[in-house]
Amino acid sequence: MGASETMVRMGELAVSAAAGHVLVSLGLGSCIGLALVDRRMGIAGLAHVVLPGSGGHGAENPRKFADHAVPELVRELEAAGARRIRLEAVLVGGASMFAVSTASLEVGQRNEAAVREQLRALRIPVMAAATGGKRGRTIKVDVASAAVTVREAGGSTETLLGGNRVCEVAA
């Protein structure tokens, strides 16, 4: 396709309004890939959230925390010309990779809950999600069409948010 891909790695986020641009997070485990799209404007953003909350920690990179990453992603989308009221969210990841293990590995579920809470506070609807379970996942966001796809480890690519679908879904 010749699309240029931007990798959004652990604790990073990216916003794009460039047609032909694809935002990608490869191999999400307990982390959440949060895609936000404004399909009217053809603007999309992707955040790779690592942990639920900063809990007052003064980390050098607060973007790894849901409570910083989600508002920051929305700010950057708005700065690029998106309207908050048109934003639609797709969540991917939050898996429990190791079935039997310590409580710290339940971080996947806590990540999803924290991201959803942030979205609720910002009144952004979650249109689709591929979360939980035990498998790693890759998320791709096609900026121009606002199509969001997920691929599970050992699986095929599945479309979570249709690119050309007219949005008439209630939150």
For 107, phi and psi rounded to 5 degrees? -60, -25
C-alpha torsion sign, points 25, 27, 32, 36: positive
Number of residues that bind another protein (CB under 8 A): 36
Q: Are strands 88-93 and 126-131 parallel, antiparallel or unpaired?
A: parallel
| Three-state DSSP class for residue 30 | coil
Task: Please report how many Cα atoms fall inside a 13 Å half-sphere around the Cα of residue 159, on the Cβ side.
Answer: 9
- Residue selected from 84, 86, 135, 165 as contacting another protein according to rule CB under 8 A: 135
Per-residue mark of binding to another protein, 30-69 (x: CB under 8 A):
xx------------------xx---x-x-xxx--x-----
31 is catalytic: yes
Choose, from 13, 31, 47, 49, the residue flagged as catalytic: 31
Question: Which residues lie near another protein (CB under 8 A)?
Answer: 9-12, 26-31, 50-51, 55, 57, 59-61, 64, 95, 97-102, 104-105, 107-108, 134-138, 153-154
